[in-house]
Amino acid sequence: MLLFMKNLLLTGLFAVATSSLVAAPAKITVQMDRPGHAVSPHLWGIFFEDINHSTDGGLYPELVRNRSFEDSETPDSWTLVSSWKRNGKMEIDTSRPLNPVNRRSLRLTLNGTVTLINEGYWGMAIAQGEHYTLKLAARAEAGFNGPIAVNLLGAGKELAGGEISGITNKWQYYTLDLTATGRDPKAALQLTLSGKGTLFLDMVSLMPAKTWKEHGLRIDLAEPMAALKPAFLRFPGGCWVEGTDLTQMYNWKKTIGGVDVRTPLYNIWQYHATHGIGYHEYLQMAEDLGAEPLFCVNVGMSHKENTPMDLMGQWVQDALDAIEYANGPTNTVWGGLRARNGHPGPFNLNYLEIGNENGHEPYRERWPLFVNAIKAKYPGLHLIANNWKGYPKEPMPEIVDEHYYDTPEWFIRNANKYDSYDRKGPRIFVGEYAVTKKTGLGNLRGAIGEAAFMTGLERNSDIVIMAAYAPLFCNANHKRWPINLINFDSSRWFGIPSYYVQKLFAENRGTVILPTGVAAATNEELFASATRDQATGDIIVKVVNSAAVSAETEIDLQGAGKLSGTVKATVLTSANPLDENTLEEPVKVIPRTGAQTISGARFIRSFPGNSVTVLRIPTL
């Protein structure tokens, strides 16, 4: 046994890290000569919700916090520094707003020199040599005409600087390009003013010149999102869709157009959202990802109240208008607005979810209002119903959305959940799932539970046509959900082990299911699914060993005929099932790739305890 384990290490086939013991022999049978149904091309996607400051302070790279002074009745996130209190005073003003939507501005009363400081979202990440654009709206009264000295300060020194002058008594925008001569992940913006009079400021923005695909996303967060190769993007939530009450619900019409006319909103996750990423940007994000957009609309229900049935017409019309904005010709009202916002062609929205986690009689009453109106105008659109304590039956949904959050053991026990689902009923969208209990901050054991469950989703992808882990992003400084796929601060990110499970499954989709049988000492410890990639000819076998010990396993590729070559083996495991990644150790638990040479359709492989393995077996 010791010699066998040493050979595994030498050939890149990974040694058992969690135990030196080996389980009783197991067997995985793949019926290559009996291909099954096609793998749903939309099976693995992503779910984006504005939670945990995932947008502002995250994917949306605005560095100034409370840029429009709409967050409260006081200038939250702004600090006024003065050698004498009488030198300056700041307060919120509503007497002469920038526009009818953006009602609040900052009024600075000056009688000397003052400094205004904004530290952004737990520090501004400034990188040496990078360019940043400061843009602000200003007007002056009582003799003040500037200038405003602008500095980016970090690491105890000035990182960039410039000046804005020529301020008049009318609202105007002023722009300043800044180039950083140093770096600091916790820098701050400083505005220094001297003189007498009154200065009004609004929409004080600092953005990096470079964004992902030049569409306004933070590059180092967009890239790991894109690396998941999502087949679809569900947005904007989640509970964010409903809101605590209807005043806090997501209203897409208030999130389009110029950023200074979008209505900021205090959301259910306890912060103000600028809507810098609005409905248009979500659609653009899906297009840039090569993903199907899946928009979730409010169904006239919040967490605390429901819209009366005789007032539901507005909610239905909002859904119809959202479809027209995404898909309508440019000679329509909303399609024309999309074109004026920079996207003449349609976004090709094909999936619409009606409500989020809504159920019982109020949902059953509202569901047909949307279905009948939408299908009458857009018969080809795929509509998704909530399965929350049951789903509506009239009219019968094409697709229903099911959510699961639990322990690793629950997901392992339910890996075969969909084997016995009624194939004559609606298709299934597993819109949210994750191990959120007994998994630390997001450890390997949680990823093992999810991976076992995902083998069942893949094997049953004739009925489970879409699935998405949730939530996607979390700012480490504002964690409102226990476990999140991608965690970050102002300048760093890491994926929990579950991130790499999602990535492995998405990178190794396959196109046709191959029937797979598992014979093991304990049927609840070893899980497998197999597909064929018709483009490459590869057989892709995914194996999850949820036991604490390694499983020496025979792989039997029935109907393969003569087979020889090198198998690519990618393994996610670690020394301890409780191991986690962190900002300080971002790659402690990541997949490792090795190779195994085979000379027949049957071969032996040892799967480490608490591991996920993807085997790509060439057949051409």
Asked if 533 contacts 584 with a C-beta cutoff of 8 angstroms, the reply is no
How far apart are the C-alpha atoms of 432 and 293, rounded to whole Å?
A: 16
Catalytic residue, candidates 70, 242, 281, 357: 357
CA 332 to chain centre: 31
- Identify the H or E element spanning 498: helix 497-507
Check the CA dihedral 492-233-292-537 and report its sign.
positive
Residue with tokens 């409010």: 298
> Which amino acid is it at 6?
K
Indicate if 357 belongs to the active site. yes
Sheet of strand 611-617, all strands in order from the earlier edge strand to the far edge: 512-514, 526-532, 539-545, 611-617, 565-572, 592-598
408 closest CA partner among 371, 445, 451: 445
How far apart are the C-alpha atoms of 212 and 192, rounded to whole Å?
A: 32
Residues near 6 by beta carbon (within 8 Å), at least 6 away in sequence: none
3-state percent breakdown (helix, strand, coil) of the chain, nearest 5: 20, 35, 45
How far apart are the C-alpha atoms of 33 and 288, rounded to whole Å?
A: 38
Cα dist from 62 to 124, 262, 302, 431, whole Å: 9, 15, 29, 29
**Cis? peptide before 238, omega within 30° of 0:** yes
Supply the DSSP string of 319-345, one letter for each residue.
HHHHHHHHH--TTSHHHHHHHHTT--S
What one-character DSSP code corresponds to residue 392?
Answer: -
For residues 506, 511, 513 and 519, what is the CA-based torsion angle, rounded to 10 degrees? -40
- Identify the H or E element spanning 271: none
Mapped onto helix, strand or coil, the DSSP state of residue 170 is coil
- Catalytic residue ranges: 357
